[in-house]
Chain A
Amino acid sequence: MKELTIAMPKGRIFEEAYEMLIEAGFNLPEEVEMSRKLMIEIPDEKIRFILAKPMDVPVYVEHGVADIGIAGKDVLLEQRRTVHELLDLKISECYIASAGLPNTKMSEIAPRIATKYPNIAMKYYKGIGEQVEIIELNGSIELAPMIGLADRIVDIVSTGRTLKENGLVEYEHITDVSSRLIANPVSYRMKSERIQDLVKRLKKCVD
């Protein structure tokens, strides 16, 4: 059996996905000590987890240092890397939407859009024929309309609480997001049996 390297996003998604793997019958220790470790070896199953920033998971997988990985659809849409998208794990479901101050119209000339997802935002507004100026921010996107940096923000929404607390309302629903199982194209062929088996077992847990 060939060793399988799985890139996982740190934090909540890791825990949920880890649970799923146990449910799918993988013999993993119940408790994993993941304080500051970046790599976890499971010799029994010949699996190695690497823990990465969510945005970096597709990078590891694209370069083949991880065979498969778990990545949010938002990251996949934003980065458009050459990876195979195998399975929708239906965990951490949310969506990308545009939001802004209530009852405001976008500026006539070139409305400014603040976002962590410049490519997704650009593609969306291009698609509806709006000319916009994209402002890339790394966090606290909600601030932008409040202090007049942008007309709208494009960001991920799960419960809508953060928007509400900052006095923003949702305008357009752009796309749904959930965690996906992705694979490196070469690993997908060279370790085809292991990956197919994993997909089949996880699929049962998803449905």
Chain B
Amino acid sequence: MSSIKMFEKPLGMRDTFPEIYEKLEQVRTIGRQLLHARGYEFIKTPSVEYYDTVGKASAIQDAILFKLVDSQGNTLVLRPDMTTPIARVVTSKLLKEKIPQRLAYFENVFRAQQQEGGRPAEFEQMGVELIGDASVYADAEVIATAIELVKAYGIESFKITVGHAGVLSTILSDYTESTEQAKKLNELLVQRNYVGFEEAVQTFDLPKTKTDALLAFIEEALSLSSIEDIEKYMRKNDALNYMQQLWQILSLAGYEEYMAMDFTLSSHMSYYTGMLFEVFAEGSGFPLGNGGRYDGLLEHFGTNVGATGFGLRVDRLIQAMPTQVIETDRVLVLFTPDRFTEALEQANFLREQHKQVTFQSTEGLQDVEAFKAHFPVVNEFMSKEV
């Protein structure tokens, strides 16, 4: 390997330059205001956790965790997501104080990149967790919050696709002959490989009715106009009733236009036990984020109270946001040493008016004209002798 150059950063790590920093701050402020107004309390957890607790419980694949070792020889991880640390702190402490908990975060998470060095390995995530409420209203609230949040950023063209792990697993197990077959089909859906799904169904040698049903399901699953359409594939059960209720609540709240049903939606995260959803917006080629009910994760930490939430990727949010010119009132106050006090007075006056004032002596500049060119407004206090 060639030696590391002085300006190099570890793979996938990025500097945040002032312009992007301002945008991040804007995203943070809007997000914080909205989530705060909806009763969510912000929380921060450590960047580093034990591998045996958070690392193993996290749904993020082991291969992309950043691992380190502490002085006692314990393996540590840089947190790969926020849901797992929040599940840890909530089950160990917060739920004893109040239940349910509504928590929000805006934090950086770490996931090592193997492909294409330019992809970020550390990025900001914003999201909420509603823990301790197993009702359908909690799921509805989380989806509504995701919709409101996306709208708050001025993104108009977006879609939330909602599925249910229970509905999918019922269909897959009803129409296959073994759990291996159902598992195989589920894996193919996680990869969104519909061609593979159809091929696999054909090779299973199932009775014709089952084969036909599975193929029809996969063809129709994305163009369903109502929950009732899925009923022909399965007997009435709790999962289906749940989805009906969820849809009804969100329609009553006026969110139907942003939502689409997708019962093929499946996640590699095995702790998603119920409703799950993904957020897509025009302008970003990648999903903005995802969420769902993850009662399974809380069980891992020894509590059985129900939890639901979502997370959005801030970098993708910035991509999808309409470009706004951030108004800056930048003023340069330039002075020669003999007029220092006068210049200082003017600078302080401008600062009181909430202008962003750069106070610069000509003595420190190599090229005065080039520096001046960076500012829309320049107040000069130059020596009168020249």
Question: What is the minimal beta-carbon distance from B187 to any residue of chain A, in angstroms?
Answer: 13
A184-B284 Cα distance, complex, nearest whole Å = 10
Please tell me if the beta carbons of B195 and A88 are within 8 angstroms of each other in the complex: yes
Residue pair A185, B286 in contact (C-beta under 8 Å): yes
Q: Which of B238-296 contact A (CB under 8 A)?
A: 260, 278, 280-282, 284-287
Q: Is the CB of B194 within 8 A of A84?
A: yes
Main secondary structure, interface of B, reads mixed
A29→B273 CA distance, assembly (Å): 50
Contact of A185 among B157, B195, B280 (CB under 8 A): B280
Query: A85-B193, A85-B194 are contacts. A189–B285 as well, Cβ < 8 Å?
Result: no
Interface check A110, CB cutoff 8 A: no
* Contacting pair A85 B195 (CB below 8 A): yes
CA distance A86 to B194 in the complex (A): 5
Contact A192 B286, CB 8 Å, known A85-B194, A88-B195, A180-B195: no
B169: interface (CB < 8 Å) = no
Chain B residues with CB under 8 A of A146: none
Q: Taking A192-B222, A192-B260, A196-B222 as contacts, is the C-beta distance between A186 and B285 under 8 angstroms?
A: yes
Encoded as 1 (CB less than 8 Å from any B CB) or 0, chain A from 164 to 207 comes to 00000000000000001000111101101000100000000000
How many B residues touch the partner, as a band? 20 to 34
CB-based contact A185/B192 at 8 Å: yes
Tell yes or no: A106 within 8 A of B by CB: no
Chain A residues 65-107 with CB under 8 Å of chain B are 65, 82-88
B-side contacts of A83, CB under 8 Å: 192
Neighbouring B residues of A65 by C-beta, 8 Å = 285
Contact B287 A185 (CB under 8 A): yes
List B150-174 residues whose CB lies under 8 Å from chain A.
157-159, 161
Which residues of chain B from 50 to 67 have any CB-CB distance to chain A below 8 Å in the complex? none
Q: Does B100 contact A (CB under 8 A)?
A: no
User: Measured between alpha carbons, how far is A84 from B191 in the docked complex, in Å?
Assistant: 7
Across the two chains, which residue of chain B brings its CB closest to A67?
B285
Contacting residues of chain B (124-171) with chain A, CB-CB under 8 angstroms: 157-159, 161
B223 beta carbon closer than 8 Å to chain A: yes
The interface centre, meaning the residue of B161, B193, B278 with most chain A CB atoms within 10 A of its CB, is B193
- What is the interface of chain B, defined by CB distance below 8 A to chain A? 157-159, 161, 191-196, 198-199, 222-223, 260, 278, 280-282, 284-287
Jot down 17 A-B pairs with beta carbons below 8 A, ordered by A. Answer: A63-B285, A64-B284, A64-B285, A82-B286, A84-B194, A85-B193, A85-B195, A88-B195, A88-B198, A88-B199, A186-B285, A186-B287, A189-B159, A189-B260, A189-B280, A190-B157, A190-B158
